[in-house]
Structure 1
Amino acid sequence: MRKIAIVGLGYVGLPVAAAFGEVVPVLGFDINQHRVDTLKQGYDYTNEMSAEELARTQIDYTADPARLAESDFIIVAVPTPIDQAKKPDLTPLIKASETVGKHLAKGTIVVYESTVYPGTTEEVCVPILERLSGLTAGVDFFVGYSPERINPGDKEHTFTSIVKVVSGMNEDTLQIVADTYGMVVQAGVYRASSIKVAEAAKVIENTQRDLNIALMNELAIIFDRLGIDTSEVLAAAGTKWNFLRFTPGLVGGHCIGVDPYYLTYKAESIGYHPQVILAGRRINDSMGKFIATSLVKQLALQNKLIQGARVSVLGLTFKENVTDLRNSRVIDIIEELREFGVQVTVTDALADGEEALHEYGLPLIPLEQLPPADAVVVAVPHQAYRDLGWNGVQGLLENGTGVVVDVKNMLEQRECPEGVVLWRL
């Protein structure tokens, strides 16, 4: 039986550690001592795992990298963000590889789960492991890649219920990687022919989704100009058996809004300039500005003075019912509104106030303390906001009248109260 260690206990790493930890003892390593301490207390502040779920596991949490030497099957699950220039930032992956390399025992298999461009594992990570360990890949240690498919906030499509793509640097490694994941992944494993194929498969999963959403966003812009309700169009088109059910919206987070740039970066490095992928990215990155501008137009139509108008924004996280603020595109709406001189107040039912202040310089105001507003933007439909319904949202408007922007179609149009103007994508 392999001794398993997980490097990185975030949205991806913790569910992986927990799945294995229900079957065998697991070492859970993270450089964040606070993260380790809270997990030892049975608390996951990302809300991905409950205290009951954690209690069922045999995870030995640690921030001591030397303990990685105790393991011979190490799974690396660290973030792979992009920088300000929208280029891959491999810093977390490089540092994790350095940490693993310093404590790599002979015979160990290192499996990467982080989203990367094809070739990263063998061209970037393996040389680091060799240099820091003094060992030789394929002789003294072995490498595999198994792309993560965690969907934060999704309690149905979990780590164990999604087919796991696995790969290895040779057949023996692939067999061990497949058998190890096969212990816990009930949906089974798919053996990719090579590490590069597995890396490429991961990066196109979210690229495909990004492009489908971009199409819906472009349609929403067109239909807005035509005075047609996009939701009604999609409902009608959705009656055809092969119509893909995507909806318009903000595309943020650390996957869909990031992964395509890893593929385009690699493509450009070999002399090909992607057109469709980057066009989709441009559309999706522009939606915050489009939403804010549309809101300003609605305020103007209501004879509201734009300069100094008060707008309350509900939700700042990158998607509903998660605490993660990384790469949230709600900030695009807020910044554009401020460009117009609008006074914006933000609340979020789940986000950490200190993190919001650190990431975006935004103080989060409790819902009950929001000042009366000329407009409300329902940016992220957390369950707490769904529970408000029309009565609760209308109550946030000055005298119950004004504009409501419903980014994710949380509210029923036919129930819109008198005195309220509803605009939605």
Structure 2
Amino acid sequence: MNSRPTVGVVGLGYVGLPLAVELARTFEVRGIDIDESRIQELKKGKDRTDEVNEQDLQDLQTISFHVDPSVISECDVVIVAVPTPITSAKQPDLSPLKAATKTVGQHLKRGVIVSFESTVYPGVTEGVCVEILENESGLTYMNDFKVGYSPERVNPGDKQHTIDKIVKVVSGCDEETLEVLSEVYGAMTSAGVFKATSIQVAESAKVIENIQRDVNIALMNELKMIFDKLDIDVQDVLAASETKWNFLPFYPGLVGGHCIGVDPYYLAQKATEIGVHPQMILSGRRINDEMPHYHAGQVVKDMIERELTVKGANVCVLGATFKPDVPDLRNSKVEDLVRDLSSFGCNVTICEPEFPERAEIFGCKTVSVPEVMTTQFEYVVRAVNHEVFSKLAVHYTIGASSAERAAKQAEQSRTMRTVSDTTEPVSA
């Protein structure tokens, strides 16, 4: 392999594009995507996901963008970073990964390393993907090409834990491949790489990262439902609990998007295949999937307590994306919330500043933030904690914003200092 390999990145979404841009600071990079409009956008130096600095797209001379996959044949290392969603039956859907792997195989040359980043259950890389590569290329695994796995850790909208500042887990089919991929990935992150002992270990590590978060959020959501019944503010409870040194900071809320609410089903499927019923994993999923319906019921209950007529009420839902300050509607649980409110007879309008040009979202008409302030809505629900919503008056909030949590923590700290400063020491 060349001392300075040419790297191909297949899939230029939230994961692939930041990866391609960072790698282009060291290597020649070919970015490939099947979406013609996406390629044209990137060639113009624009990124609709807002995950990279657009000036970098315009200035970097070492990266090029292509719809034509034949440029894969120019690459020494090919990285596949495409989505791995679930079906409507909540089963793993490997079709995007299989299609991308097939394309890579059709243009694969001898001596290439193919590294996969998509979230999968253990065994997919060496079991499913290798077979496709062999069939499409006519080449032999380990003799003519090799594979690795380095799970993506992109957190959309997070400007602190960017791809160039986080540890990259790397694995390879043999020691030589592991070393090459460690050098490639290590060149783009100041945090270094972690060399996993096998590809299946790396695959497993990725899927449990999101399972752990999903289960912990499910616990917080269940606690919220309990404390709601007791008329206790769960945010006040958490602020108090967080004063203990080993209390882990997780918070209730809607769990959507293309990672946390999806990845648990991948390991659950594999577990079922080997005769293990994953009770906690699936229980967490059921709780989190139920939360939009729970919140819709709470909204209606609150409207009735305020003596508002639910049927025909003009309700504004603030936010539609799956998380704050991210322009991504995929698998957003706000859609379920809106559907439930509409089924109760509410006339729902959505305010989503991440998509100001959209006249309709989830079948509902949209308004701008200024219009929210001037329109007479009978009820306002803050479903997503976009920064721009912080000054808007609302009737119901799903989860506290980071600023609101910080304010509670600051108040708690002030209370603790006041007690400490005014308490007389106890004599021995």
Cα distance, 1:335–1:211 mapped onto 2, change above 3 Å: same
Pairwise CA distance, 1:70? 0.5
Match of 1:43 among 34, 43, 46: 46
Matched, 1:404 2:408: no
Partners of 1:164 and 1:195 in 2: CA distance: 14
Pairwise CA distance, 1:272? 1.2
Partners of 2:218 and 2:288 in 1: CA distance: 6
Q: Deviations over 1:43-70 (max 9, x none)?
A: 0011111222323432101111111100
Partners of 2:249 and 2:347 in 1: CA distance: 36
State the SS of the aligned residue for 2:339.
helix
| Residue aligning to 2:20 | 17
| Residue aligning to 2:99 | 95
| Residue aligning to 2:29 | 26
Q: Deviations over 1:160-199 (max 9, x none)?
A: 1111000011111111111111111210111111100000
8 Å contact from structure 1 (residues 324, 351) kept in 2:
no
Match of 1:367 among 369, 389, 394: 369
Q: Deviations over 1:276-306 (max 9, x none)?
A: 1100000000110111100100110111111
Matched, 1:179 2:183: yes
Match of 1:71 among 72, 75, 86: 75
State the SS of the aligned residue for 1:132.
helix
Cα distance, 1:130–1:353 mapped onto 2, change above 3 Å: farther
Matches within 5 A, 1:94-113: 94-113=98-117
Pairwise CA distance, 1:243? 0.1
Cα distance, 1:339–1:119 mapped onto 2, change above 3 Å: same
TM-score by length of 1: 0.91
Partners of 2:364 and 2:149 in 1: CA distance: 38
Q: Which amino acid aligns with 1:335?
A: R
| Residue aligning to 2:194 | 190
Partners of 1:182 and 1:319 in 2: CA distance: 29
Partners of 2:25 and 2:174 in 1: CA distance: 29
| Residue aligning to 2:339 | 335
Matched, 1:215 2:229: no
| Residue aligning to 2:140 | 136
Matches within 5 A, 1:264-279: 264-279=268-283
8 Å contact from structure 1 (residues 379, 406) kept in 2:
yes
| Residue aligning to 2:168 | 164
TM-score by length of 2: 0.90
State the SS of the aligned residue for 2:380.
strand
Q: Deviations over 1:145-167 (max 9, x none)?
A: 00000000011101111110000
Partners of 1:87 and 1:215 in 2: CA distance: 23
Partners of 1:128 and 1:89 in 2: CA distance: 16
Q: Deviations over 1:378-404 (max 9, x none)?
A: 111112212xx1xxx23xxxxxxxx61
Pairwise CA distance, 1:352? 6.5
Partners of 1:32 and 1:74 in 2: CA distance: 18
Q: Deviations over 1:385-424 (max 9, x none)?
A: 12xx1xxx23xxxxxxxx61111324869x9xxxxxxxxx
Matches within 5 A, 1:305-320: 305-320=309-324
Match of 2:348 among 344, 350, 368: 344
Cα distance, 1:201–1:356 mapped onto 2, change above 3 Å: farther
Partners of 2:239 and 2:404 in 1: CA distance: 14
Partners of 2:76 and 2:365 in 1: CA distance: 45
8 Å contact from structure 2 (residues 356, 368) kept in 1:
no
Of 22-31 and 347-356, more deviation after overlay is shown by 347-356
| Residue aligning to 2:155 | 151
Match of 1:53 among 56, 75, 81: 56
| Residue aligning to 1:201 | 205
| Residue aligning to 2:421 | none
Q: Deviations over 1:350-376 (max 9, x none)?
A: 03755965xx33443333345421111
Match of 1:256 among 260, 271, 291: 260
Q: Deviations over 1:184-237 (max 9, x none)?
A: 121011111110000000000000000010000000000000000000000001
8 Å contact from structure 1 (residues 353, 364) kept in 2:
no
State the SS of the aligned residue for 2:395.
strand
State the SS of the aligned residue for 1:159.
coil
Cα distance, 1:412–1:124 mapped onto 2, change above 3 Å: closer
8 Å contact from structure 1 (residues 167, 198) kept in 2:
yes
* % identical aligned pairs: 52
Q: Deviations over 1:23-57 (max 9, x none)?
A: 22210111111101111111001111122232343
Partners of 2:161 and 2:142 in 1: CA distance: 34
8 Å contact from structure 1 (residues 325, 356) kept in 2:
no
